[in-house]
Amino acid sequence: MTDASTQIETKIKISADAVAQSIGATDDSVAASVVGRDTNAHLLINSSFLYRDKSVKTNQSPRRLLVQMNASGQNVRGGTVRLADNERMTTNYKLITRQIPIGLIALDAAIEQEISSIGDLIFILVGTVKGLRPLSQPIKGDKVKELRLDPSITGNVRKVEDSIYSLRKLLPIDEVFKFIDDDLGEAAKLSADDRIAVRNGCELLIDNAITEVSVPTAQVQRGETVLGKIVASMRHQTTEYNSALEALRRAPEDQKLLHEILRIAYNFSADVLPLISLLVSVCDLKPLVFWCTLKEQWALRQAFSDLPWASLGRKEKLEDYKTIVSQARSHAFHHVLPFDTTVEVDLSRLDVRAETMRLFVPFGKKEGRGVHLKDQKLADVLAEFTRAEERPVSQMFWEANLSVMKAASKLTEEVLATLSLIHDVRRAAP
């Protein structure tokens, strides 16, 4: 067994022990079955913890960890870890105190089986991000003939040849226009047609831009990988969220601080929830990744369950979490008019006489049906007023959401570490 293989086995045992201790500390029935009893207690742990919705296209792995439970004083610990195949279960874990499943697989053997069948495609997640690929785009203009994307240049925009300009990165069109106009001078600045041509060329450059990623052949440089970049961004967002939350505690009526929390939470739910769904699918297809990140998977499940779902009348679902955050954000960012409820106007004393009533219109045709008022068009215009849907969310939710963000960041970081270890094992294989 290689050093990396040993690290993988150790990682799984440590994670399984941590989850067993957590379950023993919170589930009295598990603790009572282990502490003070001479039983053959084992904990069968499911291969996925989060509620599976339509965003997850894969099925749970049928291969599940079986952890022997031991008592250490009044505390519960996990012991020997083995694998059970095709054991049916719908809960996150199941305590077995009598006959354990037959045909169990030793952990080291299961690790070898998984590594030998894991394939190369998964390692694109730890591929090295090399940066933007150079690109050129012809321009159908009189004064600009070509735009280039060249990350190696100094400065954001540079004239490289007559009528040819290079961009170091993707830029707002206004910055490109300003540089070209300054370069051409007042007397020869871009015409309206030239500006349209340059704008169209910039849009094509943006649409066709590609960031190159190389699948690693040597040791993984974690910070430069796809997941490494994602982890760094998640950490940054979590730090910003925490800072805004601390400031809001000091000034709970400050709407700017609340809006900052809503902005970050919304971006997190929009971008990170699909990432979590991806990681769930990866663990379905490559259960070794799940075993190695068991502790972080359990922590993320706990963070979601600790949100005040009950007060909102919801269950622990990723889609419901996204809806809660989205509605709170929409009300804050798309709510300018000063009405939080539907407005009803008493028309009983006004002259809003009906002119006609249409009946028996063709089936499926709504236009023209019903009562038509004297000022029907004005009534239709006034009826267009709407408001953002609101579901009040307390600060407790935003406080608990910090744990969700931290747990998601930690899980992603551990998936990165796991894939790096697996890649090291694969490289060391003869």
Q: Are 413 and 340 in contact (CB under 8 A)?
A: no
What pLDDT, on a 0 to 100 scale, did the predictor assign at position 53? 74
Whether 140 contacts 191, CB under 8 Å: no
Is 189 inside a domain boundary?
yes
Question: What predicted TM-score, i.e. pTM, was given to this entire model?
Answer: 0.83
Give the residue from 229, 284, 269, 291 showing the smallest Cα distance to 408: 269
Instruction: Tell me how many degrees the CA angle 176-178-184 measures, rounded to the nearest 5.
Output: 100
Question: Do 282 and 319 share a structural domain?
Answer: yes
226 with 253, same domain: the answer is yes
Query: Smallest Cα–Cα separation from 84: which of 71, 74, 72, 99?
Result: 99
**DSSP for residue 126:** G
CA distance 244 to 109: 48
Size of the chain, expressed as the number of residues it contains: 430
Tokens matching residue 58? 């894969």
251 in the same domain as 354? no
Does the structure show a pLDDT above 80 at 365? no
pLDDT score of 245 more than 90: yes
CA nearest to 96, candidates 65, 60, 50: 65
% residues pLDDT > 90 (the chain): 53
Are 255 and 235 in the same domain?
yes
Mean pLDDT of 360-377: 74
Task: Quote the pLDDT of residue 45.
Answer: 96
The phi and psi torsions of 370 (rounded to 5 degrees) equal: 90, -160
Tokens of 252: 């709970």
pLDDT grade for 82, boundaries at 50, 70 and 90: very high
Q: Where are the alpha helices (DSSP H) in 286-394?
A: 287-292, 294-305, 309-312, 318-333, 376-382
Residues 226 and 262 in one domain: yes
Amino acid making up residue 408: A
What lies within 8 Å, CB to CB, of 298 at 6+ separation is 18, 19, 22, 49
Percent helix, strand and coil across the chain, each to the nearest 5? 50, 15, 35
- Which amino acid is located at 366 in the chain? K
**Domain interval for residue 259:** 220-335+391-428
The confidence band for 388, taking pLDDT boundaries of 50, 70 and 90, is: low
- Two tokens, residue 346: 């008493």
Q: Are residues 315 and 410 in the same domain?
A: yes
Q: How confident is the model at residue 54 (pLDDT cuts 50, 70, 90)?
A: confident
Q: For residues 300 and 421, state if they share a domain.
A: yes
- Residue 43 domain flag: no
Query: Would you state the structure tokens that stand for residue 193, as one six-digit string?
Result: 């047609």
Give the pLDDT band of residue 389 (cuts 50, 70, 90). low
State whether 265 and 315 are in the same domain: yes
| Lowest model confidence (mean pLDDT) among 177-186, 257-266, 337-346 | 337-346
CA dist 49 and 52 (Å) reads 9
Residue 62 domain-assigned? no
237 and 180 in a single domain? The answer is no
Q: Tell whether 252 is covered by a domain.
A: yes
Distance between first and last Cα of the chain = 12
Instruction: Name the residue type at position 7.
Output: Q
**pLDDT confidence tier of residue 84, bands split at 50, 70 and 90:** very high
Which uninterrupted H or E stretch holds 357? Answer: strand 354-358
Query: Does 408 fall in a domain?
Result: yes
* Whether residue 256 sits in one domain with residue 228: yes
Q: Would you state the pLDDT for residue 334? A: 46
What is the Cα 418 distance to its own chain's centre? Answer: 19
| Distance, CA of 108 to CA of 268 (rounded, Å) | 37
Q: Which of 152, 181, 209 is the last residue of a domain?
A: 209
Residue 347 has pLDDT above 50, yes or no: yes
Helix or strand run (H / E) with residue 157: strand 157-161
278 neighbors 415 (Cβ within 8 angstroms): no
Same domain, 232 and 324: yes
What is the rounded CA–CA span in Å between residue 415 and residue 293?
7
Average pLDDT, the chain: 87
Q: How many domains does the chain have?
A: 3
Q: What was the pLDDT predicted at 38?
A: 59
| Amino acid identity, position 51 | Y
SS3 212: strand
Would residue 28 count as lying in a domain? no
Give the DSSP H or E segment for 373: strand 370-373
Co-location of 350 and 275 in the same domain: no
Assess if residue 41 is contained within a domain.
Answer: no
Contacts of 406 (CB under 8 A, 6+ apart): 238, 303
